[in-house]
Amino acid sequence: MNKVNLNNYKNNGYNPGSTIKKTLWYFTNMSIFKTTLPIPSGIKVKILKLFGASVGKGVVIKPNVNIKYPWFLTIDDYTWIGEEVWIDNLAQINIGKNCVLSQGAFLLCGSHDYTLESFDLITKPIVLEDGSWVGAKATVCPGVICRTHSVLAVGSVATKDLDEYSIYQGNPAVKKRDRVVK
């Protein structure tokens, strides 16, 4: 039986940007975003745009948010990003209008192929359609689409697409009921 051999790991096919760009972003992220200082959202939005993100109007970004690569990030109008959110966007993440990422939410675009001895990197995009809500400490896994006005409840893990106007809970998340917006 074969075994995992991380010495054979190769990440040659994945290049998210130049070393200079990644290094500049790292220090910017640590000093402006991943800090508890109450830096205004408007400043954060301007910095994200400088690094290639597409960000709409009225976006709120709370303190202590970690963003891997802003050049793989689109955030539409009036979206809220809560404290300690981790956007681990090794691939593109598109966040629609009026979305909420509650405290500690985790958007995860990368994983590994556990069937290969080399444990190769796998990346897939994530889409949060308009009005979707990722609850506190909830995780959205690679390749998932959270359809319009879907809800991923506190601490839940979305491993598959979420239906529109539906509330999901658990690990893995399953549909519990419809979402009715009054």
Q: Which pair of tokens denotes residue 58? A: 């009225």
Full-model pTM: 0.95
Top CATH class of 18-176 equals mainly beta
Assess whether pLDDT exceeds 90 at residue 176: yes
Average pLDDT over the chain, rounded to an integer: 97
Q: Please state the domain extents for the chain.
A: 18-176
Q: Please provide the DSSP assignment of the chain as one string.
A: -----GGG---TT---S-HHHHHHHHHHIIIIISSSS---HHHHHHHHHHTT-EE-TT-EE-SS-EES-GGGEEE-TT-EE-TT-EEE-SS-EEE-TT-EE-TT-EEE-EEE-TTSTT--EEE--EEE-TT-EE-TT-EE-TT-EE-TT-EE-TT-EE-SPBPTTEEEEETTEEEEEE----
Assess whether pLDDT exceeds 90 at residue 12: no
Rounded Cα distance between 121 and 111, Å, is 6
Mean pLDDT of 26-54: 97
Assess whether pLDDT exceeds 90 at residue 10: no
Rounded Cα distance between 131 and 63, Å, is 22
Q: What percent of the chain has pLDDT over 90?
A: 96
